[in-house]
Structure 1
Amino acid sequence: MSRIRWHAIAGVAAAAAVVLGLVVVAPASGAATVTATFEKTQSWDTGWEGRYTIRNSGSAELSGWRLTFTLGSGSVTSAWDAQLSSSGTEYTFANLSWNGTIPAGGSASFGFNASGTGTPTGCALNGVSCDGGSVPPTTTTTPTTSNPPDEPGEPGEPGQKLVGYFANWGVYDRHYYVKNIATSRSAAKLTHINYAFGNVQGGRCAVGDSYADYEKTYSAADSVDGVGDTWDQPLAGNFNQLRKLKKMYPGLKVIWSFGGWTWSGGFGEAARNPEAFADSCYKLVEDPRWADVFDGIDIDWEYPNACGLTCDTSGPKAFGNLVKALRSRFGSNLVTAAITADASSGGKIDATDYAAAAQYVDWYMVMTYDFFGAWDTTGPTAPHSPLRAYDGIPNPSFNTDSAITKLKGKGVPPGKLLLGIGFYGRGWTGVTQLAPGGRATGPARGTYEQGIEDYKVLKNTCRATNTIAGTAYGLCGSDWWSYDTPDTIRGKRTYAGSQSLGGMFFWELSGDTSDGELISAMSGS
């Protein structure tokens, strides 16, 4: 996340996929010629991850697919990019609304997690044995949405976090107010709001924008409760609006976030005297004027002992010392942190001891977005928030699953990890190729910044037509955009549940539609 540019470079490669079997379906008149390739992409002590890729090498379009197999040992626990159902030891994976048609020469894939050590047997595609035969279009009815079955530990269930960032500058050109959180029906679905951003200056926490934070007065039409501000009231601005919102939704918590892309440069000085920094933050967050508004503090340091807008050399223990001091000063109040998803060898996760620091935070928000973007002006085009690596990805170490896997491997409890979603797209212009990997001439035009655009705009101006690695993309004229949709978010929600993560978070509220499409998908509603 950032005030100017949300550029959280991230990622790490998953284990190399090993092709375990290739099943070929013979051609027939009027039917597509299809192969289904199975890969066991990862394995661990208690289970494994698999993937099927369905390729249409014929001249006819395949319209709708349904793949079944039997698993004699263990069970399938979750799936993404397909609708999962089961009967005993037989598992069925049906296409979703966006990946049901496979053109001649095209492909579709889906993935799943399974317990035990078994391997799929008895594969069938549209009712025809995968060992041979023709594959006609499926006659089954496919859901129009991909809402997967709930699983224990998924976001939106009791005890799971759904955290959204509110950017204080959104009240200006964007005209996004705290009231919109309520009118979009999102407030009832959120567990926490992170208020961004406070500044870090002189080794201390500081107010970021006093006018937006606590001075701007609101008319009755723009106020959460329909009551306008008066000129002489003791607290106005977003802080007063958040106070009103919490009164309407008593279970909602608000956390003040400090730093971000633009203001992370002050953390290095703060780390030289963590106790003084923590004390300054506590006194600011608990200022009597707004002490009832905030339930804790969030640190968005981009990046400890590494480079973001500026470079930090404070060492691998500095971040841990900082959050330890915050925990000591804030006591039982919330202490959270947004952290890098750069899990490449020697990358930003390796630069900081996040595992040792985890004992002092309530949770980490892993910024699993902005892996790729038009800061690489000529491309190649790539989705900015891939769930996993895919063939042709510009850097196979940049993907969500690799970051989560690395953090868990280092000893960070999965329940303290929240998966990140961007409510925006990244785009290039001068592109002629729909598939990822195309060349470009620069960033696509955005409303507020080149190369970036809100989901609520893109869903109308450049509708995603394809998916890869759990995220969506589309080509509109010469502009190529990638972004998450309600369908791809549901897939990531399933992934978060399968990994026993503590929940999900997103950047940021104003990017969603007026009726909260993306937040609804994240909450499972």
Structure 2
Amino acid sequence: MSRQGGRRGIALAGAATLAAATALLAAPPASSAGTITAECTKTQDWGSGFGGTCTITNGTDAPLSGWKLEAELPSGTSISSVWNATQTVSGNVYTFTNPTWNGNLAAGNKTSFGFNGTGSGFFTGCKINGASCNGDSGPGDDAEAPTAPSGLRATGSTPTSVSLAWNASTDNVAVTGYDVYRGTTKAASVTGTSTTITGLTAKTAYTFTVKAHDAAGNSSPASQTLSVTTPDGDGSGAGDKVIGYFVNWGVYQRNYHVKNIETSGSANKLTHINYAFGNVQGGRCTIGDGYADYEKAYGADQSVDGVADTWDQPLRGNFNQLRKLKKKHPGLKVLWSFGGWTWSGGFGQAAQNPAAFADSCYKLVEDSRWADVFDGIDIDWEYPNACGLTCDESGPDAFTKLLSALRSKFGSDNLVTAAITADASAGGKMDKADYKGASQYVDYYLPMTYDYFGAWDAKGPTAPHSPLTSYPSIPHEGFNTADTIAKLKGLGIPGNKLVMGLGFYGRGWTGVTQKEPGGTATGPAPGKYEQGIEDYKDLKGRCPSNGTVAGTAYAHCGNQWWSYDTPSTIGGKMKWAASEGLGGSFFWELSGDTANGELISAIKNGLG
């Protein structure tokens, strides 16, 4: 989320170039002569879409007078344009036939057609002129069906959707995909082991099964039946999360204490507090700042309930003050957040033994001295299998394994959440780890939809650090909230499992002459605690906003240029979050707000 003593001090990685892929169909062309074969390949893949080509080979000894290629695409993937072929679509089945000028194919010759698509899937069940694409007339020598998928489970639901996951099937050759059935109706075809079924009705019971299939067309027995009832459509239990980070170092120079959460009125508006940060060292969860966490003695004037600490009481510090705050607000949940910008370097070692790491975290969070204070754990790994303050090479599945171990250890009675990257650029941080697979183990994700741009690019261009949407001169595509949420939803993560991020601060440059975004600069603007960053409570008077771009306020005062959210822009962002069916909003962090909680009030009012 941010480093100790400040906030995140470096930009997200720049947008990557398009990655060339060679994702061949699971049914490759046969090497023997005497058959008509087809091979379809992705030539480009940019995450939200792809380009591809299919090559048809006449391996017979006679001329071919026409061809027809049929294949299925999983739900959420479609072909948007095609050339050198004529396309028809029926449900998930795509049929490509030759135009008049390339239907005749001499013996031994080839022809091809190209296409562009949207989504992340690709063809399955390919047939060429009625036979499977590897030249067989049917299942051929492979008559063995895959095993039935196991462990079918619901990983999330909204009034109109259900997210499902299951364990992979096995096959004597290879499993090429899965068909998901709602009752007896095929609802989706996918290549992975999860999907989201949409178009459902609130407060309605549905049954689901899954079948696996292979390249030869063999279909497995159905999985066990899963029954799911969608929740009420009145929004109860979804969309109302207001989550604020409280930083343990704030009790020093910032002079911000747990009591300020109460006196500002913020405690009445919060649903959750994330306490930042615990450290990650030696593959374990460890204390971040013992003095601030549980040793500092509070006098009556700084105590939540007006009662001073005594020298011999078993728990003092922030933990005891949080206990008092929860007593005043019984519905308030507190999670202990581990990692952050500075302390994420320890997650790589933790990922080598996820079970041991989870055990250490559970023992620390559930320590008898403060077990009643915390309702779960928040993981802030910046970033799995990618670069933040340091670079991690733990592998794309490390994040999933770590959260799986935490969920197993903490159980269903505790919250397990994770703050995650907001980099939606092609080939960016979101593509480096299995955020979809890991999502089944968390109660919700907190995508950090801020710090997209800042004065780490000392010469600019100036840009809002928390843009809601893209805009014509945005420095990097994929660096905005709408693209972030769209990419996460595109992975199959339901909206109510995503909590939108806000910054209670601004980022700024100096040496700027241009009022509008896109100007050049000479360096970071001065800040009270760190160059290039300032709390909202100070900026609102020091450099009032005089424009908006992409749903975020900006201000040009003198030679400084700042961007930050105001009550007005937060109101607009909350309307957008509601329209997307998101789970609510979180912010970094409580001490940046005004003494009467202007920004948190805007969140609460905007969510309704």
Instruction: Determine if contact 2:473/2:518 at 8 Å carries over to the other structure.
Output: yes
Counterpart check, 1:217 vs 2:219: no
In structure 1, the gaps of 5 or more residues are 17-43, 46-115, 117-151
Identical counterparts, % of pairs: 71
User: Aligned partners of 2:477 and 2:511: how far apart in 1?
Assistant: 24
Q: Aligned partners of 2:47, 2:350: CA distance in 1, in Å?
A: 35
**1:5 and 2:7 correspond:** yes
Superposed CA RMSD in Å reads 2.1
Match of 1:461 among 542, 554, 560: 542
Q: What is the correspondence of 1:302-313 to structure 2 with a 5 Å cutoff?
A: 302-313=382-393
Letter in 2 for 1:404: I
1:120-519 to structure 2, matched below 5 A, reads 160-332=240-412, 333-519=414-600
Residues 11, 402 of structure 1: 8 Å contact kept: no
The SS at the match of 1:163 is: strand
1:347-367 superposed Cα distances (whole Å, 9 cap, x missing partner): 111101111111100000000
Deviation, 1:183, is 0.5
- Find the residue that maps to 1:244 and give its secondary structure: helix
1:75-114 matches, cutoff 5 A: none
Structure 1 residue 158: Cα displacement? 6.7
Q: Greater RCO between the two (CA within 8 Å, min separation 6)?
A: 1
Alignment partners' CA distance in 1, 2:423 and 2:322: 33
Q: For residues 276 and 445 of structure 1, what CA distance do their matches in structure 2 show?
A: 44
Relative to structure 1, the CA distance from residue 381 to residue 159 in structure 2 (aligned partners, 3 Å threshold; closer, same or farther) is closer
Q: Any conservation in 2 of the 1:327–1:360 contact (CA below 8 Å)?
A: yes
**Counterpart residue number, 2:164:** none
Question: Are the aligned partners of 2:551 and 2:573 in contact in 1 as well (CA < 8 Å)?
Answer: yes
Cα separation, 1, equivalents of 2:331 and 2:409? 24
Q: Cα 1:15–1:437, aligned 2, differ >3 Å: closer, same or farther?
A: farther
C-alpha separation in 1, matches of 2:254 and 2:307: 22
3-state SS, counterpart of residue 424 of structure 2: coil
Distance 2:270 2:468 in 1: 23
The residue identity in structure 1 corresponding to 2:336 is W
* CA distance 1:14–1:437, shift in 2 (3 Å): farther
- Distance in 1 of aligned mates of 2:261 and 2:340: 22
| In 1, Cα distance between equivalents of 2:604 and 2:11 | 24
Residues 285-305 of structure 1 show CA distances to partners (whole Å, capped at 9, x for unaligned) of 000000000000000000000
TM-superposed CA distance for 1:10, in Å, is 7.3
Question: What is the 5 A alignment of 1:32-47?
Answer: none
Larger Rg, first or second structure (1 or 2): 2
* TM-score normalised according to structure 1 size: 0.72
Give secondary structure in 1 for the equivalent of 2:348. helix
- SS of the residue aligned with 1:336? strand
SS at 1:524 equivalent: helix
| 452-461 or 391-400: bigger deviation | 391-400
How far 1:394 moved relative to its partner? 1.1
| Alpha-carbon displacement from aligned partner over 1:419-473 (angstroms, at most 9, x marks no partner) | 0000000000001110001110100000000000000000010000100100000
CA–CA distance in 2 between the matches of 1:304 and 1:511?
28
Distance 2:239 2:387 in 1: 35
8 Å contact kept, 1:11–1:341: no
Which 10-residue stretch deviates more, 350-359 or 193-202?
350-359
Name the structure 2 match of 1:34: none
Do 1:192 and 1:253's aligned partners in 2 also have CA atoms closer than 8 Å?
A: yes
CA distance in 2, matches of 1:464, 1:377: 21
> Residue 250 of structure 2: SS of its match in structure 1?
helix
Q: How far did residue 15 of structure 1 move?
A: 9.4
SS at match of 2:430: coil
1:494 partner letter: K
The 2-side partners of 1:461 and 1:407 are apart by: 37
Preserved contact between residue 337 and residue 380 of structure 2 (Cα < 8 Å) = yes
Asked if 2 retains the 8 angstrom alpha-carbon contact of 1:10 and 1:403, the reply is no
Structure 1 residues 448 and 427: CA distance shift in structure 2, 3 A: same
* Distance in 2 separating the partners of 1:10 and 1:178: 34
Counterparts of 1:421 and 1:323, CA distance in 2: 24
Structure 1 position 160, deviation (Å): 2.1
Separation in 1, partners of 2:47, 2:425: 10
SS of residue in 1 equivalent to 2:246: strand
CA distance in 2, matches of 1:173, 1:235: 23
Deviation at 1:5, TM superposition (A): 3.4
**Residues 1:158 and 1:187: Cα distance change in structure 2 (over 3 Å):** farther
Q: Quickly say closer, same or farther: Cα 1:15–1:410, change in 2 above 3 A.
A: closer
CA contact (8 A) 1:8 1:341 kept: no
2:356 and 2:540 mapped to 1: Cα distance? Answer: 46
The structural deviation recorded for 1:14 is 12
Unaligned runs of 5+ in 2: 16-45, 50-75, 78-198, 200-232
1:399 counterpart letter in structure 2: N
Report the Cα distance in structure 2 between the residues aligned to 1:159 and 1:429, rounded to whole angstroms: 38
Aligned-partner residue type, residue 452 of structure 1: I
Opposite residue 267 of structure 2, the aligned amino acid is A
Residue 7 of structure 2 aligns with an amino acid whose one-letter code is R
* Paired residue total: 392
Q: What's the CA shift for 1:397?
A: 2.1
Q: CA deviation at 1:232?
A: 1.1
1:395: how far off?
A: 1.2
- TM-score after normalising by structure 2: 0.63
Do 1:375 and 1:443's aligned partners in 2 also have CA atoms closer than 8 Å?
Answer: yes
Following TM superposition, by how much is the alpha carbon of 1:280 offset from its aligned partner in structure 2, in angstroms?
0.1
Asked if structure 2 preserves the Cα contact closer than 8 Å seen for 1:14 and 1:388, the reply is no
* Letter matched to residue 492 of structure 1: K
Using the TM superposition, give the Cα deviation of residue 337 of structure 1 relative to its aligned residue in structure 2, in angstroms: 0.2
Deviation (angstroms), 1:176:
0.3
Q: Measure the CA separation in 2 of the matches of 1:410 and 1:358.
A: 10
